[in-house]
Structure 1
Amino acid sequence: MKKYNSILKYIFVLIAALLITGCVHDDKYDEPNLGDYQCRTASYYTNSQNGYEKWTLAQLKMQTQSVAITKKAYVEAYVSSSDETGNIYKTLYIQDNPENPTEGLTVSLDAVSLYTKFPQGSKVYIDVQGLAITTYGGVKQLGKITPAGTRVPEKEVNMHVFRDCQIRAEIKPKVMTLTEMVTANDNLIGCLIQINNVEFDGRALCTPYAPNSVTVDKTIGEGWDSASNKYLKTAVVRNSGYASFANQIIPGGKGSMVAIFSKYNSTYQMYINRLEDVDMETHKNSAGQIDSYPRLDGVQSNPCQFSATGLTVKTIADVKQLNTSANWTQITGDFYVKAQVTANDATGNLYKYVYVEDATGGLRINMNKSDLFLDNRFRLGKDVYIKLKGLYLRNVNDEIQLGGLFKNTSGVEQFGQIEEPQLYKHFFDTNTVARAVAPTERSISSLTTADVGRWVKFKDLQFIDGDLGKTYASGTAQTNRTLEDCAGNKIILRTSGQADFGTSDNPKKASATEIEGGKGDVYAIVSIFNGTYQLWITKLSDVDLDDPRCDGSVYTPLPVLYKDDFAAGGFSTDWTTENVTGTQVWATSNQGNGTNYYAVVNGVLNNTNEDWLISKSISLVGKTKAAVSFTSDVRYSGPALQVYATENYTGNPSTTTWVVLPALLDTNTAGFGDWVSSGNVDLSAFLGKNVRIAFKYTSTPSAAATWEIDDFKIKGQ
């Protein structure tokens, strides 16, 4: 037995040594050792006993769309993409030849890290039986038709896609121009291409490829028309916010780009496999000389590197003093200012402007670009250099603002925003870590015009009695609420109905968020409108009113007596649906809303509809206050939704006595998703009674809207 154990030990040691030797040998490679993972050879498919029919990519793309392929067929191709950096997601791009391809294809796979199984250059065989060709965004793709969309499920990938056990080629990008991105060349979509002598446009300069978790498009251009100051041809480079290079700054020069050729509807676009495929900073010409600058648009050097040489530094107070005109003042001096971003548009309460501040004051800067907070230069707490020459100042309703000029629809110049393509010329990242924004402490009575634009802290404020129970905003409009101190001094808090102080998973729309009823500290930007001071907050925590009110009382919001957010889908027995006319009826859906369901009804043109959604009876006996609230969303033109209440439902809407409720409803018929809160709709007329709430939908043969209802609540105490 001892001898047997010794032999076993020897065998184990030998195996371990071989394994270690293998690992050391493999460590010199940067990519995974594929071994024989999921591989085949051409002989498998050419063997007549296996019964395969060979198709070209062109033949495959000609198959009947959205119908599963029944023939036992296969295609050969080479992988042109790599998802190693995360810029390409659950997609394998292939082409028919490693060099000078004539056909490319998008293969939709419900799997990630495809580069570990099918690295770029791999020859692959795809069994197409059971798969289907579909079109998305004008591009043909291969996948499997499933309830979740056209995509091969991960567990079935190894049933359809096989790597050649022996062949891996170098993919040589096909050289194209942006001008050649036309319908006649759509057969090359999915191929690796190279575009020469191109550059990112002014809107992209000095910005990252993509902010964290946000996919964005950047524009590249070729050729330059000096007469119109435009590129002769442009295309889109699409970048994922999950890519490993997402936060890298776009190169400022011109040069070449290697990427996957793609398209979305009529817009041609490219996907970068890896950052090394973008050569626009140290690009060399045929003589070996770096020719990234000057750019096509005439910029002579890296536009994102700030230099104070030849510039005079100014303070915010100095800048405001430059405004000398009743109309507007152009800044002509070679000046710059260094300031900290104190408020941005992260919650949507500010729109297309930020506030900056230094020791001498604060200033509003107007820019024609949304989501400024995603730009490194305008993140909260960041210091930014601002070159002032060429910008404009104007006193707007008593507030001096920095911006640009634009022409209105009548061709008349007006003061407004700095255009996005011009931002790189004026705003420069200091490349320093964001600092905490320190507020200036003030009281309502001590405010002066020098405080306009500052981030200010006010102590011991409360909302006036008349605002208690209200939301921060009514509908989608900008709304005034009034704050006061314990001496009775008052100031306006102004809030946009478009603001969302929550997250994508937990939204807190200003129109659906009730104000706090206590007393405490308020942090806000001070602005002014025609002599009246007003405040703007950037997040809900800026209003911290947890202490008893000035009179010592403690405000308690109306408790919720009943609520239904339709989360489970379908209507419970708490709801009655009555179909009076037409075939369309109230239902629930989660379309476009993730796992969150809502009540919905939509008519169809040429039909007449009348449909009711009626709540169960809720007792308001013994209550001294009561209200109902909900959110609504409308799309397409049609009669407005009607909201009613009754104390005695007969079982028939037409014989019931209804009271109209003045609820705020969504009015934006152009799109879904802009949910509007009704506010707390007073139910005082039903105190001491039982109440039902009803939603009446109507449509006509010429006008049929879609109405959605969610977050239904009845409150009372």
Structure 2
Amino acid sequence: MKNIIFSIMKTNRILTSLLIVLAMLISCVQDDDYTIPESLGSEENAGLQAIMDGLSSGVMSEVSIAELLTLYTGQPTEIVSNIVVKGYVTSSDRTGNFYKEFYMQDAPENPTAAIGIVLNQVDSYNQFNIGREVYVNLKGLYLGENSSEVLVIGGTIDGNEVDQLTGKQIPKHIFRSQTTEEIVPLVVEPSLVNDSHFGMFVTFENVQFPLSLVGKAFLDPNDDFDTQRTLVSCADGTEFPVETSSFASFIQEPLPVDARGSISGVITQSFGGDERVMVLNSTDDINFIDDRCDPVFEESFNSAIDNTVLNLDGWINFAEAGSVLWTEQVFRGNGYAELNPFSSGDVSVISWLITPGIDMDAQEGEILTFQTEHAYPDFGHDPLEVLISTDFDGTEGGIANATWSPLDFDVSYKIDYGTWYNFTSSGEIDLSSYTGTAYIAFKYSGSDTGNQNMTLHVENVTVTVP
């Protein structure tokens, strides 16, 4: 009889335990529609209330994301003060394009700073959905760079990088409130994106994918991890990569190449910090509804072969004085034309780079844009002239006999020599008054002596019509 009673009691305990586990599992699951829960759970509510009480009593202090970023010392930095930071989630791993991380910015609209959080948790969108107000108790956590050289909050250190908060650290340090705000994307020109935008949800307007990507999907099937697809700005020809993880749910969707419009995503960097990229939360954030803005003429130099003499079909590369020719260069996957007189020994360098002929009678309202940049201080020397001719015969021998008219463009690229490989747009240059066949020339004048050996880069030469 005792054995029977014991067996019944044991069975009841097992059933009770199973029911408790089942109830716990049900309480943890949230719908994918991001409905704000009526209750965050007693433990999470208690943790958030403890933060509020600590802030109210002065035991804790709230810092802004911008203030937090200034605490970085150049290596993983442990936070030892009782400080708290608040933000609004900008990323989502719902489609698999983010993995064990999320980003948050300091305001739902017009943010001024953002930061990432790396954590050992998948499907975090169920808890930290886009727009969710999140508080992070920073004491005992680390501030530093992740594998993409973007500043993040983490729970451990892996060499010179900050690593994930563990599963046990997450509920002790990250607390969401019951507030979910609409994240209004920050409208930014691709050419103006900088490190301050890391983690922000931004929109590029008036952009398109190049026609060379017709028939391509978001992921290249030959890539093991990530694929970058180039966006092109219709305003100034600036190129900006959209990066897609091989684990994203939309990898086989075709790129929307038949139109242009706006696209929204989170700004971060590719693995190793090689270049800034936009990462999509979802392809629902692409709104391409306008006709394409395909240019009358375009040269991105993306076919460049690194460190070779520039040799493109129809282009003229000619040294009027000295021996230095324009070269093809590639940096972080981006091709461009370069003129570098350094170590040539030439006391005079005059080098021409001339486009193929452009038919100015086939359309109206032509606008020229290009981008320039230099790699070393110029000491006040201005080496570049941009010229146009409609009586040039298209041969090297005809350069001296042609009429070349100067074009005005933005020369601020000469000033910001502290940051290399930040190209400056020329601004829109009106070519609508020209007829016939036009040639655009980039004429470099300098020397390998004195202070006139500035290295110059040119890319994204484009002629468009409204």
TM-score, normalising length: structure 2: 0.53
Structure 2 contact 62–85 (Cα < 8 Å) conserved: yes
1:547 aligns with 2:278: no
* Partner in structure 1 of residue 43 of structure 2: 252
* Partner in structure 1 of residue 143 of structure 2: 393
Per the TM alignment, residue 312 of structure 1 is displaced from its structure 2 partner at its CA by: 1.4
Do the aligned partners of residues 189 and 469 (structure 1) sit closer, same or farther apart at CA in structure 2, a change above 3 Å counting? farther
Distance 2:94 2:267 in 1: 18
Per the TM alignment, residue 428 of structure 1 is displaced from its structure 2 partner at its CA by: 1.6
Of 525-534 and 340-349, more deviation after overlay is shown by 525-534
Do the aligned partners of residues 468 and 335 (structure 1) sit closer, same or farther apart at CA in structure 2, a change above 3 Å counting? same
Q: Give 1:309-388 correspondences, 5 Å limit.
A: 309=57, 310-325=59-74, 327-358=75-106, 359-375=111-127, 378-388=128-138
Distance 2:177 2:17 in 1: 36
Per the TM alignment, residue 548 of structure 1 is displaced from its structure 2 partner at its CA by: 1.4
* Partner in structure 1 of residue 269 of structure 2: 528
Structure 1 contact 210–247 (Cα < 8 Å) conserved: no
Q: 1:209 aligns with which of 3, 7, 27?
A: 27
Per the TM alignment, residue 387 of structure 1 is displaced from its structure 2 partner at its CA by: 1.2
Distance 1:193 1:400 in 2: 43
Distance 1:533 1:341 in 2: 20
Task: State the one-letter code of the partner of 1:423.
Answer: I
Distance 2:95 2:150 in 1: 23
Structure 1 contact 304–424 (Cα < 8 Å) conserved: no
Structure 2 contact 90–199 (Cα < 8 Å) conserved: no
Per the TM alignment, residue 455 of structure 1 is displaced from its structure 2 partner at its CA by: 0.9
Distance 1:404 1:383 in 2: 20
* Partner in structure 2 of residue 457 of structure 1: 203
1:514 aligns with 2:258: no
Structure 1 contact 444–491 (Cα < 8 Å) conserved: yes
Distance 2:166 2:230 in 1: 34
Structure 1 contact 209–248 (Cα < 8 Å) conserved: no
Structure 2 contact 60–83 (Cα < 8 Å) conserved: yes
Distance 2:68 2:291 in 1: 42
Distance 1:193 1:386 in 2: 33
Distance 2:26 2:15 in 1: 25
1:428 aligns with 2:219: no
- Superposed CA deviations along residues 258-288 of structure 1, whole A, max 9, x for unmatched, are xxxxxxxxxxxxxxxxxxxxxxxxxxxxxxx
Structure 2 contact 64–86 (Cα < 8 Å) conserved: yes
How many residue pairs align between the two structures? 274
Do the aligned partners of residues 192 and 211 (structure 1) sit closer, same or farther apart at CA in structure 2, a change above 3 Å counting? closer
Distance 2:15 2:284 in 1: 50
Structure 1 contact 208–250 (Cα < 8 Å) conserved: no
Task: State the one-letter code of the partner of 1:385.
Answer: Y
Distance 2:13 2:153 in 1: 45
Per the TM alignment, residue 188 of structure 1 is displaced from its structure 2 partner at its CA by: 5.3
Q: Which runs of 5+ in 2 are unaligned?
A: 297-466
Tell me the C-alpha RMSD between the 2 structures: 3.4
Distance 1:192 1:401 in 2: 42
Do the aligned partners of residues 208 and 414 (structure 1) sit closer, same or farther apart at CA in structure 2, a change above 3 Å counting? farther
Per the TM alignment, residue 386 of structure 1 is displaced from its structure 2 partner at its CA by: 1.3
Structure 2 contact 105–199 (Cα < 8 Å) conserved: yes
Distance 2:31 2:195 in 1: 40
Larger Rg: 1
Q: Which secondary structure state, in structure 1, belongs to the residue aligned with residue 248 of structure 2?
A: coil
Q: Return structure 1 stretches of 4+ with deviation > 3 angstroms.
A: 187-195, 246-253, 301-304
Do the aligned partners of residues 469 and 414 (structure 1) sit closer, same or farther apart at CA in structure 2, a change above 3 Å counting? same
Do the aligned partners of residues 429 and 516 (structure 1) sit closer, same or farther apart at CA in structure 2, a change above 3 Å counting? same
Distance 2:79 2:17 in 1: 45
Q: Give 1:120-135 correspondences, 5 Å limit.
A: none
Structure 1 contact 101–191 (Cα < 8 Å) conserved: no
* Partner in structure 1 of residue 385 of structure 2: none
Q: Give 1:563-642 correspondences, 5 Å limit.
A: none
Structure 2 contact 153–162 (Cα < 8 Å) conserved: no
Per the TM alignment, residue 360 of structure 1 is displaced from its structure 2 partner at its CA by: 2.4
Task: State the one-letter code of the partner of 1:540.
Answer: T
Distance 1:342 1:418 in 2: 19
Distance 1:459 1:427 in 2: 34
Q: 1:482 aligns with which of 212, 230, 236?
A: 230
- Superposed CA deviations along residues 127-178 of structure 1, whole A, max 9, x for unmatched, are xxxxxxxxxxxxxxxxxxxxxxxxxxxxxxxxxxxxxxxxxxxxxxx5xxxx
Over the matched positions of the two proteins, sequence identity in percent amounts to: 24
* Partner in structure 1 of residue 47 of structure 2: 303
Q: Which secondary structure state, in structure 1, belongs to the residue aligned with residue 264 of structure 2?
A: strand
Q: Which of structures 1 and 2 has the larger relative contact order (alpha carbons within 8 angstroms, sep 6+)?
A: 2
Structure 1 contact 316–357 (Cα < 8 Å) conserved: yes
Q: Give 1:161-240 correspondences, 5 Å limit.
A: 174=9, 191-192=15-16, 209-212=27-30
Per the TM alignment, residue 441 of structure 1 is displaced from its structure 2 partner at its CA by: 1.0
Distance 1:399 1:414 in 2: 10
Distance 1:427 1:479 in 2: 31
1:416 aligns with 2:163: yes
Distance 1:477 1:466 in 2: 22
Q: Which secondary structure state, in structure 2, belongs to the residue aligned with residue 318 of structure 1?
A: helix
Distance 2:282 2:265 in 1: 9
Distance 1:311 1:350 in 2: 31
Per the TM alignment, residue 413 of structure 1 is displaced from its structure 2 partner at its CA by: 8.7
Q: 1:102 aligns with which of 4, 7, 32?
A: 7
Do the aligned partners of residues 525 and 413 (structure 1) sit closer, same or farther apart at CA in structure 2, a change above 3 Å counting? closer
Of 393-402 and 380-389, more deviation after overlay is shown by 393-402
Structure 1 contact 462–483 (Cα < 8 Å) conserved: yes
